[in-house]
Amino acid sequence: VIGVVIGKTDVRGFPDRRNIGSERYTFSFTIRDSPTYFINVNSWGREEYIRSLTESFRVGDCVTIENPLVQSKEAEREEKFSPATPSCYKLLLSENHSVVKTSSCYEMDTTLLSLLHLPVKDPQDYYSLGDIIANGQSLDGRVLNVLAAVMSVSS
């Protein structure tokens, strides 16, 4: 699978249920290879492997993923912690079997770069900040998609 990384989580550690007293580590990222399709990629393993993997690429890098495990996603559980994707699958990276190679998008396909700036949600499924302010009471308790731009950053 070849795509551009459009999102990435931080590394997290969890107690390993199989080896009491040790921890397993995880992080996830999302790759996109067309305007319509993108998929979440999860990786679990030893701390050294996970930290090395997460430091090997950034959002905006093009990656080639070799030999991932393709799994059906559990929609309700999965999308609580990862972006909603149009696929009913996710990719799982294994320390022993999978490889992630990073390369310049210019070397791969410059059309991948343009995918970085496309929204991942339906353009009709956004609320503007003005709509939220005007209709705040009726929207109370609902989960909303907001499309906004940062105008400035200061201390």
| Domain range list for the chain | 2-115
Please state the CATH superfamily assignment of the domain spanning residues 2-115 in this structure: Nucleic acid-binding proteins (2.40.50.140)
* 7/126: higher pLDDT: 7
| Average pLDDT for 128-143 | 81
Whole-structure pTM over 0.85, yes or no? no
pLDDT 10s digits, 25-41: 999 999 999 888 999 99
Range name among 48-62, 85-99, 139-153 with the lowest pLDDT average:
139-153
Burial (Cβ within 10 Å: 0-12, 13-18, ≥19) of residue 35: exposed
Question: What is the C-alpha to C-alpha distance for residues 53 and 57, in angstroms, rounded to an integer?
Answer: 8
pLDDT attached to residue 141? 79
pLDDT 10s digits, 82-109: 777 888 899 999 888 999 998 766 666 6
Question: What is the C-alpha to C-alpha distance for residues 66 and 1, in angstroms, rounded to an integer?
Answer: 7
pLDDT attached to residue 76? 64
Instruction: Compute the mean pLDDT over every residue in the chain, rounded to the nearest whole number.
Output: 84
